[in-house]
Amino acid sequence: MALDDSLIEELGIGPVWVRRGVASVAPVEDERPPAESAALVSEAPAPVGMRQAPQPAAPPSALQPESDVPPVDAYDDLPWTDDAPAHAEAAVVEAPSDVHTLDWDALAERVANCERCRLCERRTNTVFGVGDREADWMLIGEAPGENEDKQGEPFVGQAGKLLDNMLRALTLSRQSNVYIANVIKCRPPGNRNPELDEVARCEPYLQRQVELVKPKVIVAMGRFAAQSLLKNEASIASMRGRVHEYRGVPVIVTYHPAYLLRSLQDKAKAWADLCLARNTYREALAALGVEQGAEKGGI
């Protein structure tokens, strides 16, 4: 898929100046957000003896992205990727003994005052969750980004708008028939991936949310969320297209909306994942209807 000039500009991809006669070196993958990587490149001094031709200022129109590609600074500072290194070992952390007994209000208060890991030291707000607490659909993301930390709500900004559009195509809405939560309730510094002990200390809250919602299908948004729920280190490519299970609930794995904003070619794959989730949900309803009918018939 060819990249146009405006998308190249957004991703910080440009010509690389190499001294004549010096062999080029394979680039090292940079996991920083595109805007940050581009800034570092622009600030780096030119090698001694190398003269770089002045670059003319780009016309305003060249800096405008395509209609479905927001500017880099609109990505909510979410660097979640689906090819980041996986963690090697699982952490073992003792869970609070009473979390499984808490109702919604008590659980929300516990999360708001949580100090079980050091992420609490730099947060603005905890991000507990939002939506219909009796929804059949539950979406689980990875961890709050900058805007989520400021607003205390998951999936806001451009990534949230994309998610809302995806849900609307399924006649779903976070206000009525979907509940959205994150694996981690506090923003990691610099939006890094959470550490395993941080996941382990926060997981009881998510487990209780799943118990309270009682969803019929869960959609894991992003590689990190999927690995945390399913307790594996598989790639998102290998987890997609299949029905998994978390605490007795069917799980469908798809890409994180922030990743889709940077990888437009994978939007079709994400839609296929949501269609699989819809079919799984319908099958769950059908099975539940058969069971209920059998019980009534037996009575």
Residue 80 lies in a domain: no
Which among 231, 226, 259 is positioned nearest to 80, based on CA atoms? 259
User: Domains in the chain: how many in total?
Assistant: 1
What's the CA gap between 12 and 41, in Å, rounded?
A: 8
Is the pTM value of this prediction over 0.85?
Answer: no
| Residue 100 per-residue DSSP state | G
Q: How confident is the model over 108-134, as pLDDT tens digits?
A: 999 999 999 999 999 999 999 999 999
Residue 105 lies in a domain: yes
Residue 73 lies in a domain: no
Compute the residue count for the chain: 299
Residue 7 lies in a domain: no
Residue 36 lies in a domain: no
Boundaries of domain holding 164: 93-296
Token pair belonging to 53: 């031709």
Q: How confident is the model over 236-284, as pLDDT tens digits?
A: 999 999 999 999 999 999 999 999 999 999 999 999 999 999 999 999 9
The strand ranges marked E within the chain are 130-131, 137-141, 178-182, 217-221, 244-246, 249-254
Residue 233 lies in a domain: yes
Residue 55 lies in a domain: no
Q: Which residues pair with 89 in a beta bridge?
A: none
Q: For residue 210, what is the domain's CATH number?
A: 3.40.470.10
Residue 32 lies in a domain: no
Q: How confident is the model over 197-245, as pLDDT tens digits?
A: 899 999 999 999 999 999 999 999 999 999 999 999 999 999 999 999 9
